[in-house]
Amino acid sequence: MRKIVLGLGGNVGDVKSNLNQVINALQEKFSYPITKSSFYKTKAWGNTNQPDFFNLVVYFDSELDLKSTFEITREIEREGGRIRNPNIKWGPRTIDIDILFYGNTVVSSLDLTIPHPQIQNRNFVLYPMAEILPNFVHPTLNKSIAELLKTSIDNLKVERN
């Protein structure tokens, strides 16, 4: 069993409803209880000329391998209306599912980097994760999520919503 930590977000349409549907789909596909953070609202990160985002973090235990986990998250994104445009980085989206952690696994490939490479620089991930997993230790930075939040250089305001 591995603890899988996902970051969920979106800024197009009825985002909270979309994200609740994602959580239901994850529950159905992975069959283990899911713990979720509160919703958090933030300005867009990177490409700032777009609507605010709602984000949250979920985690659950799973026996599935990483490849299957990745394929399931992409399938749920597609079912939720996510269209990936390779020409637009950090653009608007109905839903986004990022695998933040897959246990203590470290992977770097063209398709996937685990842990997600920007966790320590994104308060919209750190705040919700600190709510539900403050003592989780980043496997390459060797710091807890609470410690990473204290030293984050991200100045975007994050509001619990």
pLDDT tens by residue, 55-107: 999 999 999 999 999 999 999 988 877 666 666 666 678 899 999 999 999 99
Is the omega angle on the peptide bond into residue 115 within 30 degrees of 0, that is, cis? yes
Report helix, strand or coil for 71. Answer: helix
Q: Which CATH superfamily is domain 2-160 in?
A: 7,8-Dihydro-6-hydroxymethylpterin-pyrophosphokinase HPPK (3.30.70.560)
Confidence of residue 154 (pLDDT cuts 50, 70, 90): very high
Report, as residue numbers or ranges, the catalytic residues: 82, 93, 96, 98
| Total-model pTM | 0.93
pLDDT in tens, 126-148: 999 999 999 999 999 999 999 99
